[in-house]
A and B are shown apart, each in its own frame.
Chain A
Amino acid sequence: MSKHIIELVDLVKDYDGTEALKGINLYIRQNEFITFLGPSGCGKTTTLRLIGGFEKPTSGKIIFEGVDITDMPPYKRKVNTVFQKYALFPHMNVFENIAFGLRIKKTDKKVISEKVSRMLKLVNLEGFEKRSVDSLSGGQQQRVAIARALVNEPEVLLLDEPLGALDLKLRKEMQLELKRMQQQLGITFIYVTHDQEEALTMSDTIVVMQNGTIQQIGTPEDIYNEPKNAFVADFIGESNIIDGVMLRDYRVRFAGHEFDCVDKGFGINEDVDVVIRPEDIRLVPRDESPLQGTVKSVIFKGVHYEMQVDDHNGYGWIVHSTSMEPENTDVGLQISPQDIQIMKKVSAI
């Protein structure tokens, strides 16, 4: 098993009365691509900045390779950061920017030159040494920022929503590039984003956060297929979330009907959240399913049709399908037992 390169112990951060982090416990393995995912204000950037050393925690510890670095300033930590708006030094050219950290360590001139060239090659910016920073496009600046951080050969790279300012196509290309780089260099990447698709694409492990707490940690497949609660289910992918009652093991009631399902371990007649993915609902002729409704809207999304079907209880089901039924058609909704996710109701925080 890879060893734990970073451990966060009971990390709490208060800002002038607002609790940004409410006690985070987490370990990060060496060489893993781990992503902190969540909406604005969930604490993901705060956690990253604490690891980088730009903020001090109100309480708790940060352990790096077994050493307590909680009070260590950023310039002594063996981590490097790629900032959201790149933060390149405008009065220096590309070469100088990348060489900055090496110069501080008083590296030999020839070695600097060699390492910078190697970095530029890694990020596909060969020949850009003398270019000025403001002559570069967003994507190019992004890659310089990455090169500037990586050239120092850190053990851990922190990335704070680095792709936010790029257009969609470029963003997707960079996602794959970053993944490739991480695997090639074999170092730990800690990534922060609010884009769940991005997290699912790149990560080995995802940490879903909300309101300063961790909601779930797992692989992309785990999080997507087995969300632990309604928040995670709603945040990752699209879901239909409806109130239900767990009658007994393997049997649940929702939308006015009873269904077989594959979950157990809940109390008898316990109120639960029922989560069903839009792509897991099949539209069948009305009489072929106990759950029925009328198609209210149809939107063509390229990859699939997105339809809203209102059932007789008034719930609007979101259905994704490659074929479509026109508006005002009466249809039946068919769901397999294994696609019905039952989760405990999330108590209000």
Chain B
Amino acid sequence: MKKAFGRFYLVLIFAFLYAPVLTLIVFSFNDSRSRGNWGGFTLKWYSALFRDRHVLSSLYYTLSIALLSALIATVAGTAAAIGIHNMKKILKSFVMNLTYLPVISPDIVTGISLMILFVFVRLNLGFTTLLLAHITFNIPYVILSVLPKLKQLNKHMYEAALDLGAKPLYAFFRVILPEIMPGVVTGFLLAFTLSLDDFIISFFTTGSGVSTLSITIYSMARLGINPKINALSTLMFIVVLALLLIVNKRSSANSKNGTAVMNI
């Protein structure tokens, strides 16, 4: 009895959670503009999407920002993680608090504070500022992915490499890096995904006609309902879903306990 009630309740909750998402996806194939009635199956919104130049340019910007910021953040973050790993306690906790700052801060605060910074130094808001902002909020997540892997390393491995004649750089690339690579890759994927998904910070730090997909959706949504958004949503959802499933699978393979649900 209790189990049936529990199961029913769960079904309700899941319905609540998925209804909007599914509606969005289903209606992306709706032949009518109506949000309530079904007019037949069509792919016209998707083709309209691909013909919309504004959408396409946002796609280009979104992808390039995501890729560039993720790459730079990964290299910088890995180097930073190595430095932090070897730090003394006091400095380490200071730097870790610094690292957590963008993670805990509300996006809106990060967004406006960065905007103020850029304007203050008279930097034109555009691609560069957008990139700088994305790198800033990505690096901490890379560090948080790489640091645990560094902690798991046998401290003597690096010394063993030196002992056998390797110079520090050689030892790093041949011994340390292969060992922490899973963390580095996860960090990269995480940064890439966060970048793709971001809205608020991008909203405040971009300009000069540089727009990301999220921002484009926002401006379209403010004008009212538009089935092209549905189509875009469906596509974005599938991509992010795929990426995060991969990240989740990697992190559960690497973590000690079974379930590793990414909590972003």
Chain A residues packing against B (C-beta within 8 Å): 52-54, 73-75, 79-81, 83-85, 87-91, 100-101, 104-105, 148-149, 152
Chain B 154-192 interface 0/1 with A at a Cβ cutoff of 8 Å (1 = within)? 101101111111110010000100110000000000000
Extra contacts, 20 of them, besides A52-B163, A81-B160, A89-B160 (Cβ < 8 A), are: A52-B159, A54-B163, A74-B162, A75-B165, A75-B166, A75-B167, A81-B163, A83-B156, A83-B160, A85-B154, A87-B154, A87-B156, A87-B160, A89-B157, A90-B179, A91-B178, A100-B164, A101-B165, A104-B170, A149-B164
Chain B residues packing against A (C-beta within 8 Å): 154, 156-157, 159-167, 170, 175, 178-179
Contacts of B161 in A (CB 8 A): 89, 100
**Residue in A closest to B88 when the chains form the complex, CB atoms:** A16
Q: Within the complex, which residue of A73, A84, A85, A152 is in contact with B162, where a contact is CB–CB below 8 Å?
A: A73
In Å, the complex CA distance between A270 and B187 comes to: 71
Q: Within the complex, which residue of B162, B175, B178 is in contact with A75, where a contact is CB–CB below 8 Å?
A: B162
Q: Within the complex, which residue of B156, B170, B179 is in contact with A85, where a contact is CB–CB below 8 Å?
A: B156
Structural contact, A81 and B165, CB atoms closer than 8 A: no
| A180 CB, nearest partner CB in chain B, Å | 23
**Residue in A closest to B167 when the chains form the complex, CB atoms:** A75
Contacts of A54 in B (CB 8 A): 159, 162-163
In Å, the complex CA distance between A133 and B156 comes to: 16
In Å, the complex CA distance between A133 and B157 comes to: 13
29 A-B pairs with C-beta separation under 8 A: A52-B159, A52-B163, A53-B162, A54-B159, A54-B162, A54-B163, A73-B162, A74-B162, A75-B164, A75-B165, A81-B159, A81-B160, A83-B156, A83-B160, A84-B156, A85-B154, A87-B159, A87-B160, A89-B160, A89-B175, A90-B179, A91-B179, A100-B161, A100-B166, A101-B164, A104-B164, A148-B160, A148-B164, A152-B165
In Å, the complex CA distance between A80 and B161 comes to: 10
Going nearest first, the 6 A-B pairs with the smallest beta carbon separation are A101-B164, A87-B156, A87-B160, A74-B162, A91-B178, A104-B165
Structural contact, A83 and B159, CB atoms closer than 8 A: yes
| B158 CB, nearest partner CB in chain A, Å | 9
In Å, the complex CA distance between A101 and B166 comes to: 7
**Residue in B closest to A79 when the chains form the complex, CB atoms:** B163
